[in-house]
Amino acid sequence: MTSTEESPVLVDVADGILTITLNRPDRHNALTGRMHNELMAALERARHESDIRVLLIRGAGRSFCSGADVSDLSEPDVAPSAAQRVHSVMHGRDLVDAMLAIKQPVVAAVRGYAMGLGSTIALFSDVVIAADDAVLADTHVNIGVVAGDGGAVMWPLLAGLGRARYHLLTGERVTGSLAAEWGLVYKAVPADAVIDDALDVARRLASLAPLAVQGTKAALNRIVRDRVELALDYGLWAEAVTFLSEDHAEATAAFVQKRPATFTGR
C-alpha cells in the first residue's frame, strides 16, 4: 500500500495489478482537484513500472465516481471565478490523455454511480465490469453545460450514435444491465460480484504475454485517439463556455432552491 486510508486516492500493487481506489465514499467519490492530481500520479507511475501488467480502477463504498466535485473549485460560500471554471474543465483533456498513454490494460469495476466525469473515467477504461443496478449517465446538460469531457467521444463509439444522441442530449440515466446490453460496458453482474469479477479479468490479463496485450491495446487505441482528436477539444471548449452562462447559474440556483429551472439560452 502506497497511500494512507485518509488519502482520497488509494494505490496498491499486488501480483502485477495496480489497484486505484477513489476514496471519498461519503461523496460517492466525487473528484476533487487533489484527487485528480493523485489519480494522474498513479497513472503516471503505471507508465514507468514494467512489473505492472494491469490497472484496476474502483470506488470505495457504494459508488464508482459521481463526477467532478464543483464545490472544490473555491471556498464553500464563494462562487468560482471564470478562470477557475475553465481551468477545471480543461483538466479533462489531461486525464483522457493520461489514460490513453497507459500501455497496460485498464479494468474498471463500477458500482453505484458513474456520472459525468466518473462515466468518462469508466468508459475510457479497456474493460468495464458494472453492477446490474449501477447508474451511468452524462448529466452535463441538466446543469446547463455541454457534455464535453469525453462523453461525446465514448458514448457514440461504444453504444452507437443514436443512443448517444438521446442520452447526452437529455442526461437520462442508464442501468448497468442496459449498458451491457448496448455494449457501453463489457458485462453487468450482481453488485456483490463486481469486484471479484473485475479482479478475475485483471488477473487473466496479467497472466498473458504483456507485449502482445499492450500492442493490441495500442492498436485499438488508435481508433479511440482518432475520435478524441475529432471531438474532445471542441467539447471541452464548449463546456467551459457554458459553465459561464446564465443558464448554468440558473440550473445551480434551481438545484439549491429545489425548484424547476427556467432556461433562456444565455
Q: How far is CA 233 from CA 79, 151, 264, in A?
A: 25, 12, 26
Residue 131 within a domain: yes
Residue 246 within a domain: no
Euclidean distance between CA atoms 27 and 141, whole angstroms: 21
Residue 126 within a domain: yes
Q: At residue 70, does pLDDT exceed 80?
A: no
- Contact (CB, 8 A) for 88 and 138: no
- Band (87; pLDDT cuts 50, 70, 90): low
Tell me what pLDDT residue 90 has: 67
Any idea what the CATH number is for the domain that residue 84 is in? 3.90.226.10
What is the percentage of the chain residues whose pLDDT exceeds 90? 84
Residue 69 within a domain: yes
- Band (152; pLDDT cuts 50, 70, 90): very high
Euclidean distance between CA atoms 16 and 45, whole angstroms: 13
- Band (92; pLDDT cuts 50, 70, 90): confident
In degrees, to the nearest 5, what angle opens at C-alpha 212 toward C-alphas 208 and 216? 115
- Band (180; pLDDT cuts 50, 70, 90): very high
Among 33-37, 71-75, 103-107, 136-140, where is mean pLDDT lowest? 71-75
- Band (1; pLDDT cuts 50, 70, 90): very low
Q: State which residues form the domain around 116.
A: 9-192
Q: At residue 262, does pLDDT exceed 60?
A: yes
Supply φ then ψ for residue 138, to 5 degrees: -120, 100
Tell me what pLDDT residue 256 has: 86
Q: pTM for the complete prediction? A: 0.91
Q: What is the CA radius of gyration of the chain?
A: 18
Q: At residue 2, does pLDDT exceed 90?
A: no
Residue 243 within a domain: no
Residue 2 within a domain: no
Element housing 56 (H / E)? strand 54-59
Average the pLDDT over 228-254 and give the result.
Answer: 93
Tell me what pLDDT residue 264 has: 95
Residue 23 within a domain: yes
User: Coil, strand, or helix at residue 204?
Assistant: helix
Q: At residue 177, does pLDDT exceed 60?
A: yes
Tell me what pLDDT residue 131 has: 98
- Burial readout 195-205 (b: 16 or more C-beta within 10 A, e: otherwise): bebbbebbbeb
The number of distinct structural domains making up the chain is 1
Euclidean distance between CA atoms 182 and 232, whole angstroms: 23
Tens digits of residue pLDDT in 28-46: 999 998 999 999 999 999 9
Tens digits of residue pLDDT in 181-194: 999 999 999 999 99
Residue 152 within a domain: yes
Q: How far is CA 155 from CA 16, 134, 137, in A?
A: 30, 16, 10
End-to-end CA gap in the chain? 49
Pairing mode, strands 106-110 and 127-131: parallel
Tell me what pLDDT residue 4 has: 46
Tell me what pLDDT residue 93 has: 87
Average the pLDDT over 73-99 and give the result.
Answer: 69
Contacts of 83 (CB under 8 A, 6+ apart): none
